[in-house]
Amino acid sequence: MADYRILYADTATGTLLGELPVSSFSFSEGLNGAGSFSASMPLVTSTEATLSLSVGRPELTAANFQPDGRTQIFVERDGSLVWGGMLWGFTADMGKQTAKISATGFLGYFMRRLIVADATYAATEQTAIAWGLINTAQAASSIGVVDGSTATGTVRDRAYEGVYATPVGEALQNLTRLNGGFDMRIRSYWSGGSIVKSFETSFPQSGRTTAIVLDLASNLSKLSLTEKGTEVNTLAYASGQPGVALQSTANATLELSVPRLEAIEAHTSVSETAALLAHSARLSQRGSTAVRTMRAEVAPGYAPGVGGFVTGDVVAVRAVVGWLDVSGNYRVSGYSVGVDDAGTEKVQLDLATSGAF
C-alpha cells in the first residue's frame, strides 16, 4: 500500500505549514490542463506536529488555511510529489465536524491572470513565448513557478494586445493547439528539502512511447468507449481579430470519401495570418478522423500505477468484444486517482486516438 501525505504551504513564501489529516481524497491531471484535487477531512484537527519542519504549524487554523490562493496543496506518494495546486474552496458540515476541500492545479492560476499590456514576440521559440507570458504574470505576483521548458526549434510571431485582456492560461493553451505546438504541465518535486514548481514542455506532441499495455482480459477492470464523428471536417477555418481575413486548410483527400464538412475555430486575440493558418491546419488535422475516447480503470494491484505514466504518454490497448475491436495505440489525455479511507488506490486513465490532438 502506498504511503501518502497531503501537505499544505504558504503561497507567498513557499513555506511548508504542515500535513493535512485527510481521510479520503482524489486528484487528477489533464493534458495541457490544470487538473483538480478534493479531500475529506475533520474540522477538529490534532495539535501534534505532523511534519519535521524547521518552522511548523502544530495545528490547522482558519488563519493559515485560506481558500483564496494563499494556500498551496501538494500530494506526496512514497516520498515523491505527484500533484500540486492551489486551494480554492471547501464545504463544511458543522454537525458532522467534517469538511471537503477542493484545489486546482497551478496552470489553473494563470486562467486568473490577464494580459493587460501589449506584448510582442517576433521569430521567438514557441516555448520561450509561453514562459515569457508566465514570467511577466509572476513579475507582479509570483506563485513560485520556475522555467523548466525545453526548446522545440519552432519560432513564431505572436502579438498580444492588452485591450483584449486575454487570460494567460488561455494564451498558453492556444500555443499548444497550434500545428506543431507542444505539450505543457507544471510539475512539483522535492529538491534539497524544498518544493520546486517547474513549468515543463514536451515536443513533439506525438507523445512518449511506453511499454504499457492495458488489456481488458488482465489488468483492466473496466473499459468504456465513445466514438464521435461530429468534429470531422474537410475544410477548417480559423478566425482572428475583427478585420483579419479567415485562414483555411482543406483536406481534399478526405472529401473524396465523405461529404464536405466545414468547421471554424475562433481566436479573437490573434492578428497574425501565419498563426491563424497554423490554427486552421491543426483543426484540419484533428478533424481528419472520428475521435475515439476511452476511460480505462486499472484493476486493483495491477500496473500501471501512479507515477508509471504521465499525460501525453502513448499506451497500447488490447480489447475485443463482439464486433468492436479497439486494440491499438492511444494517448493518455488525462488521469484520476482516488484513495479511500483504507488507503486503497483506484486509477483511471482517459485515452484518445492521436487524431484528438
What pLDDT is recorded for position 54? Answer: 44
Print the SS3 string covering the chain.
Answer: CCCEEEEEEECCCCCEEEECCCCEEEEEEECCCCCEEEEEEECCCCCCCCCCCCCCCCCCCHHHCCCCCCEEEEEEECCEEEEEEEEEEEEEECCCCEEEEEEEEHHHHHHHCEECCCEEEEEEEHHHHHHHHHHHHHHHCCCCEEECCCCCCCEEEEEECHHHCEEHHHHHHHHHCCCCCCEEEEEEEEECCEEEEEEEEECCCCCCEEEEEEECCCCEEEEEEEEECCCCCCEEEEECCCCCCCEEEECHHHHCCCCCCEEEEECCCCCCHHHHHHHHHHHHHHCCCCEEEEEEEECCCCCCCCCCCCCCCEEEEECEECCEECCEEEEEEEEEEEECCCCCEEEEEEEECHHHC
Q: How much is the pLDDT for 33?
A: 94
pLDDT of residue 59: 65
Whether the Cβ atoms of residue 222 and residue 250 lie closer than 8 Å to each other: no
What pLDDT, on a 0 to 100 scale, did the predictor assign at position 211?
96
Burial profile 299-318: b = 16 or more Cβ within 10 angstroms, e = fewer: eeeeebebeebbbbbbbebb
Bridge partners (DSSP) listed for residue 318: 215
- Where does residue 98 fall: left (phi above 0), alpha (psi -120 to 50 degrees), or beta otherwise? beta
Give the model's pLDDT for residue 203. 93
Q: For every one of its 357 residues, what pLDDT tens digit does the chain have, with 9 covering 90 and above?
A: 789 999 999 999 998 888 888 889 999 999 999 999 999 998 887 655 455 544 444 567 777 788 999 999 999 999 999 999 999 999 999 999 999 999 999 999 999 999 999 999 999 999 999 999 999 999 989 999 999 999 999 999 999 999 999 999 999 999 998 989 999 999 999 999 899 999 999 998 878 899 999 999 999 999 999 999 999 999 999 999 999 999 999 999 999 999 999 999 999 888 889 999 999 999 999 899 999 999 999 999 899 999 999 999 999 999 999 999 999 999 999 999 999 998 899 999 999 987 666
Q: C-alpha grid cell for residue 266?
A: 475562433
